Structure 1
């Protein structure tokens, strides 16, 4: 362990994380004249697109929706495909850093280990560690903006014997930057969520043999990934002002919205044509552009599921695999677990080198030094295990840092041990001058990353400007306002069918984690109205005070 480098001096603000939220907030604070610096644990920008570099990794939100909207960020940029892969998104982030001249304000390979609040001086003291050298350092700032993302703490279930496995073991969220060679190897992929679907499609092409372990079927939708030439780029740029207007109006920040009609009140012929068009559009239209009651009414939901099921059954040859991948009885209401996009996913299971194991009644019982065993006694010899087993989502990236506020004896992890409490998903009572982006009780997983970054980033920047202009050195959410926001968030989470599914939306994938709505599910427009209502009323719900 290296010696501790001296404090580089107090800054106005420190940003943690170089994804969409972090880069946008760094830009906005720099633009507003703040002394600000960003620390990133990885070796480059991109956030999830730095860490998720497994084969097939790409975004499931189409461009130009999946980008920031400031004119200088897109007028000189062209996309090569409708759903960019991780490498193109990394290049896009490099473009943002260059356009906004942020390079000197970012320190890479530096993981923030702790944040402790000093209530006398009204500032945060941070300790950090260089991930390459082990060198420790310190910094301090009036305000800290946590942009750790909702998927930054990988989770692997505690499989018996996993520590004894002698082959290669990877998690999709911590994939080696140098890549992985699967050719000629017996590969196991555990998990069929978003990263699992993408990895399976590629692993099936490379591996000598692939065994897929599925707990829950993924009701994946067709991607339809068109290539973008000069004409396509010129076209979206001409209409991007309209796209920006739509992003501000829609529930999740897309350029399309749910249909106001009820699935139960239109004719079968109209409904069939409507669903056919949604599926042929590619992307998430069948999920987020569907009838208004599909995510609220069981009958409407069951109809939508059956339409999806009939669309994929002809693509699966083996009757056994059909029932595992697209069961007759829905495993949960359609759309209440994260839906993925696919391009040849279901056909992969028709290959001779691919086996599918359902873990529903046949769980993994043990991992040996060379194999995976399941409850039915089957032993699969494997050279490589790829865990597509998700994350301690939404809160995990924050609670993995030793954060202590006004009460130095209590970490934020301990504060949230029985349930998450925030105000607007951006602040926490007892933790002054600390802001969160793309975190708990905010739209987060129910909004696109760029639209969420702009929504929250503009509010946080305005808040810091207000403090500066009014000589405010400490701002803290009140417990009463925080309780109201928690109650409101939980109430919104109960309105649809989402509670009927066990998912990371509710923390169900992490043993011992409280079951609660981790996201604000009332949509971006409603969220935007609420946060600015507070700001426009002198930050109602907060206590503001000058330096002690």
Structure 2
């Protein structure tokens, strides 16, 4: 039964406006139940930006909500990723929730906040919004099966808890299932070994140690530039050079932030929905070759000087579709990098004359002193394309040339089974009992990048076939989160207990997504954008590459049409209402 609109729900217990509890809530502490738990409206899985925003908005709309989080605290990726140098790659002004009572009183210290500042921010969010009272930590969801007779999910956790929400919202993040390399002898290493995604919360002392880093993606670059200056010796094992961009980090002035809050913040938050990737800047709707060579050089110089992702997601739109335009952008990037590298061999490995892949079709990361690290005498770079790893030994890493690189610490910066991995890791079964991992192994298929046919009452913001990889995180979770809350409220108003995308709508979405994807150069790189980084995983588009404005319009059109592309039904009936 839906709660009445005048009733506010807290932690599964309806209260009056005066705060008087109407129903008991038989819950014990530490995420375990002492008796049969009551049914409630929504279970949110994950307490990062997505889960935090979803809880706040659903609770405001009068729904009973719980959040299950596998970790010990809020923060999502910022709880788990505590490796050296972890830092966000979005400007502070938009990498936050747009809820008025939050941004008006919070001040950032750096243009690109570090991990600890994000941890502090989540603690502040909880203090302001009182979210933890509806969260259970150390509660990893292992299975979720849809019960057709009652139109509810039956959700089980690793610690033995079972709940029956009407709706399941998976805010599990696109990068939360670590990918481990299959090297022989990985378990034999006698030193310290950690994946960056499972770094000890207390940290690891790397000073004066012989450190090896496998992988040069975002976490690899951050660990390398942080570790190089303090390690006795650093060995980097690189498969593909990272086409990293300058961060141009700087401290923030309090007076400047005060001015921004009074004038710019509301405008910046609205502007996010108008740009390709949900930032405060947008791609240039012109071709690189609309400019003279002189104009082009000066334009590239300006974008570079702005720092951050301006040279990527604020550049000319044809770099994603035209190889010649892309080559111009890469040539300028290479020139800038070569200026900071002294050794010709390092120049060859890190900024080769021929691009390893088109610029920008594999996510670049932001760096501060990455290239300078390779000028240090204590830093060695192993090119795995020419000299692959044979095995991990008790003492270190053996490469094909017969050299054993002896190490005290081995860092696995080997990435994630991204976008789909955190969802397919759950024993998730829909109306026919089929595992979603089996369905998606034949070809990823969703509708609106939010739902999947045969899995009713389930949503997954910031996930498969949404704008995920090409959108600022908080922007994406707010846009999709608002859509989800509005949809559930619509169902309450119309007394629907089940919503399921039609197969026809899903097929049309996949066709449209693939058509847009095929116009770009995205498949020219072995990237987590397509799942190509995971051995045996189907290579396909995992994200919507049509830009945020188009994505918003398509979602809005469905909602304004009474949720076209979905079928509704009511518990206990066989009748289905389908919106074409």
TM-score range, shorter chain: over 0.9
Q: Distance in 2 between matches of 1:488 and 1:370?
A: 51
- Within a 5 Å distance, the mapping from 1:128-143 to structure 2 comes to 128-129=157-158, 135-143=159-167
In the TM superposition, what whole-angstrom CA distance separates every residue of 1:39-77 from its partner, at most 9, and x where no partner exists?
111111111111111110000001101111121120011
SS, match of residue 264 in structure 1: helix
- Within a 5 Å distance, the mapping from 1:464-503 to structure 2 comes to 464-503=488-527
How far does residue 98 in structure 1 lie from its aligned partner after superposition? 2.1
How far does residue 263 in structure 1 lie from its aligned partner after superposition? 0.8
2:239 corresponds to: 215
SS, match of residue 206 in structure 1: coil
How far does residue 7 in structure 1 lie from its aligned partner after superposition? 3.7
1:54 corresponds to: 83
Q: Distance in 1 between matches of 2:445 and 2:551?
A: 16
- Within a 5 Å distance, the mapping from 1:74-223 to structure 2 comes to 74-129=103-158, 135-223=159-247
- Within a 5 Å distance, the mapping from 1:514-529 to structure 2 comes to 514-529=538-553
How far does residue 460 in structure 1 lie from its aligned partner after superposition? 0.2
The answer to whether the Cα contact below 8 Å between 1:5 and 1:136 also exists between their aligned partners in 2 is no
SS, match of residue 441 in structure 2: coil
Q: Distance in 1 between matches of 2:126 and 2:32?
A: 31
In the TM superposition, what whole-angstrom CA distance separates every residue of 1:270-311 from its partner, at most 9, and x where no partner exists?
111111111111101001111121111111110110100000
SS, match of residue 216 in structure 1: coil
How does the TM-score come out when normalised to structure 1? 0.97
1:247 corresponds to: 272
Aligned partner of 2:368 among 343, 357, 363: 343
Structure 1, gaps ≥5 residues long: 130-134
In structure 2, do the counterparts of structure 1 residues 350 and 90 end up closer, same or farther at CA, with 3 Å as the change threshold? same
SS, match of residue 293 in structure 1: helix
Q: Distance in 2 between matches of 1:417 and 1:7?
A: 36
The answer to whether the Cα contact below 8 Å between 1:186 and 1:209 also exists between their aligned partners in 2 is yes
How does the TM-score come out when normalised to structure 2? 0.92
Q: Distance in 2 between matches of 1:445 and 1:384?
A: 31
SS, match of residue 504 in structure 1: coil
Mean Cα deviation higher: 415-424 or 439-448: 415-424
The answer to whether the Cα contact below 8 Å between 1:6 and 1:138 also exists between their aligned partners in 2 is no
In the TM superposition, what whole-angstrom CA distance separates every residue of 1:164-223 from its partner, at most 9, and x where no partner exists?
111111111111111111122111000001111001011112221110000011111110
The answer to whether the Cα contact below 8 Å between 1:188 and 1:385 also exists between their aligned partners in 2 is yes
How far does residue 240 in structure 1 lie from its aligned partner after superposition? 1.2
The answer to whether the Cα contact below 8 Å between 1:6 and 1:137 also exists between their aligned partners in 2 is no
Tell me how large the CA RMSD over aligned residues is.
1.2
In structure 2, do the counterparts of structure 1 residues 465 and 325 end up closer, same or farther at CA, with 3 Å as the change threshold? same
- Within a 5 Å distance, the mapping from 1:382-393 to structure 2 comes to 382-393=407-418
1:375 corresponds to: 400
Q: Distance in 1 between matches of 2:191 and 2:443?
A: 38
Mean Cα deviation higher: 487-496 or 23-32: 487-496
Structure 2, gaps ≥5 residues long: 1-30, 573-580
Aligned partner of 1:291 among 312, 316, 330: 316
How far does residue 94 in structure 1 lie from its aligned partner after superposition? 1.7
Aligned length: 541
- Within a 5 Å distance, the mapping from 1:389-400 to structure 2 comes to 389-400=414-425
The answer to whether the Cα contact below 8 Å between 1:7 and 1:137 also exists between their aligned partners in 2 is no
The answer to whether the Cα contact below 8 Å between 1:5 and 1:137 also exists between their aligned partners in 2 is no
1:68 corresponds to: 97
How far does residue 4 in structure 1 lie from its aligned partner after superposition? 8.0
Q: Does residue 507 of the first structure (1) align with residue 531 of the second (2)?
A: yes
SS, match of residue 490 in structure 2: helix
In the TM superposition, what whole-angstrom CA distance separates every residue of 1:501-535 from its partner, at most 9, and x where no partner exists?
11110000111111110000001111111011111
Q: Distance in 1 between matches of 2:179 and 2:485?
A: 33
2:456 corresponds to: 432
2:10 corresponds to: none
2:336 corresponds to: 311
Q: Distance in 2 between matches of 1:406 and 1:331?
A: 45
